[in-house]
Amino acid sequence: MLFQPQFEELIAFASDAVFMPELLKAKSAYFSATGEVFEDDAFFEQQMAAFINFYLFDWKLDGDQLTPAERFWRDGRFATPDDAPIFESFLETWLSLWEVRKLGKASVRLRDLFTDRDVEVFERRQLIGLTKGDLMEARLAPMGDKFVFMRGSAFHPSAARKSILAEIKRLKKQAPSFDTRDFICVLSRMRLKFERSRNIAAEQIYNFSRK
């Protein structure tokens, strides 16, 4: 991640002892919604990274109802003034369900499946196994006219693509202002079940009529 030092600085601030009760409450809320993971799970690190993002950028602290990232920014806690634009970008992270539209040499074009907006994501690494049409949960942070990936991205099986897209279409029609975060959490629970039950077809697990 291009801004790893600044991200670690933010984590150090938000994991101070004074925030520990909030961190524990956030952890309980997050994994109750997305499904509990264990250290021997192959996807443990990915889920923990996604949780850290949730805590830093979405969790509202008691009192002022700011996220840890917003509190850090308000207090001007960054050690180097030149880092201010990076910490400001942390206030504008964007979590969504994305469809891979195009793969470039140093970028990936994604479409937000909830808003139908396309964005360019700067990515120098070759993302092995990533193909056009893949569906992924990812959090992006703005960087100039593009975005960058935060850690914690997760992919859903290609066999579940049809049912996921159909459910999003149904929700948009029946409840245009549906809770997209709740839907992402539903998908997270389905993905965990799929990863742990590879003997069950993805189409059976991603069955929204039985949710």
Stretches where the chain sits below pLDDT 70 are 1, 126-128, 210-211
The Cα–Cα gap between 73 and 190 comes to 35
- Predicted local confidence at residue 51, as pLDDT: 98
Q: How is residue 20 written in tokens?
A: 């520990």
CB 102 within 8 A of CB 108: yes
- Predicted local confidence at residue 127, as pLDDT: 64
Q: How is residue 13 written in tokens?
A: 């601030």
Q: How is residue 154 written in tokens?
A: 């997760």
The Cα–Cα gap between 142 and 103 comes to 19
The Cα–Cα gap between 152 and 169 comes to 26
- Predicted local confidence at residue 105, as pLDDT: 85
Q: How is residue 38 written in tokens?
A: 């264990």
- Predicted local confidence at residue 180, as pLDDT: 96
- Predicted local confidence at residue 81, as pLDDT: 82
The Cα–Cα gap between 95 and 192 comes to 19
